[in-house]
Structures are given as structure tokens and as C-alpha cells.
């Protein structure tokens, strides 16, 4: 069974930093694109970032580009999101999401339960 378990969500100050982790199991991790999708309270889904299986390519939405860094450790089957220069508008539940393949086009076939990031002074 595919499992994605996020951690690292917390209360952070504006301009602060957080690092999210996603521990995975049940599939061959390095074969698949992995993404982070976020959801602000009461709002819809917003894709934030993606990384290919071998970490060769990373992708970011305009709203997080230059502030967030996605990475993965294929030896540990773990996905990360380093979040710097946090803003109030980054407040959201962050979902770790498995892509359906190792390259485009891919849909999101498995989602973690999410971890809450709150940015507030």
C-alpha cells in the first residue's frame, strides 16, 4: 500500500523558514515525480512544486519560486520542501502528492494527509 506521511508543519513568523518532510513507502520512490500541493483555509487546491525522480528537474509555481526549494532523498524515500521568506499568504495545509508516472503528463494518484503551516506574527 502506498503511504505518504507529511511532517514539519508548524507556526512560523513572517520571513521565517520551515522544512517539510514526506516519508513514503509502498512504491519505487525514484520512479515517480513527486509534488507539493497546498490548500489555504477554506480555499481550493494550488500546486506549489514538483521534482522528477532523479531530481534532475524541479518546478515551482510563480507564488513560491525563489523562496521554496523542493528536494528528495531517493535512498531514504523522502520528499522535502524547504520554505524560506515565509509570508502570511503561505498559510495552508501542504499535501505531499505522488505523480502517476516519472515524467509529464502525470496526474496525482496518491495524496498524503497534509501538514498545516501557519504563518503569523
Partner 1 sequence: EVVLTQSPGTLSLSPGERATLSCRASQSVNSNYLAWYQQKPGQAPKLLIYGTSSRPTGTPDRFSGSVSGTDFTLTISRLEPEDFAVYYCQHYSNSRTFGQGTKVELK
- Interface residues with partner 1 (CB under 8 A)? 35, 37, 44-47, 50, 59, 61, 95, 100, 104-114
Q: Please, is 67 exposed, middle or buried when counting C-beta atoms within 10 Å of its C-beta (0-12, 13-18, 19+)?
A: middle
- Take residue 77 and report the three cell numbers written for it: 524515500
Considering the complex, what minimum distance in angstroms separates the CB of residue 21 from partner 1? 16
Q: Specify the residue, 10 or 45, whose C-beta has the smaller distance to partner 1.
A: 45
Considering the complex, what minimum distance in angstroms separates the CB of residue 105 from partner 1? 5
Q: Specify the residue, 62 or 121, whose C-beta has the smaller distance to partner 1.
A: 62
Neighbouring C-beta atoms of residue 29, cutoff 10 Å: 19
Residue in 78, 90, 113, 112 with CA at minimum distance from that of residue 10? 90
Considering the complex, what minimum distance in angstroms separates the CB of residue 110 from partner 1? 8
Amino acid at each position: 500500500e502506498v503511504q505518504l506521511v507529511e511532517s514539519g508543519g508548524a507556526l512560523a513568523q513572517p520571513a521565517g523558514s520551515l522544512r517539510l518532510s514526506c516519508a513514503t513507502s509502498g512504491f519505487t520512490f525514484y520512479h515517480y515525480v513527486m509534488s507539493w500541493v497546498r490548500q489555504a483555509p477554506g480555499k481550493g487546491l494550488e500546486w506549489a512544486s514538483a521534482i522528477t525522480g532523479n531530481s534532475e528537474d524541479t518546478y515551482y509555481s510563480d507564488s513560491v519560486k525563489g523562496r521554496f526549494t523542493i528536494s528528495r532523498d531517493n535512498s531514504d524515500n523522502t520528499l522535502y520542501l524547504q520554505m524560506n521568506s515565509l509570508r502570511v499568504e503561505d498559510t495552508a495545509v501542504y499535501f505531499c502528492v505522488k505523480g502517476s508516472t516519472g515524467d509529464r503528463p502525470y496526474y496525482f494518484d496518491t495524496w498524503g494527509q497534509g501538514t498545516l503551516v501557519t504563518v503569523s506574527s
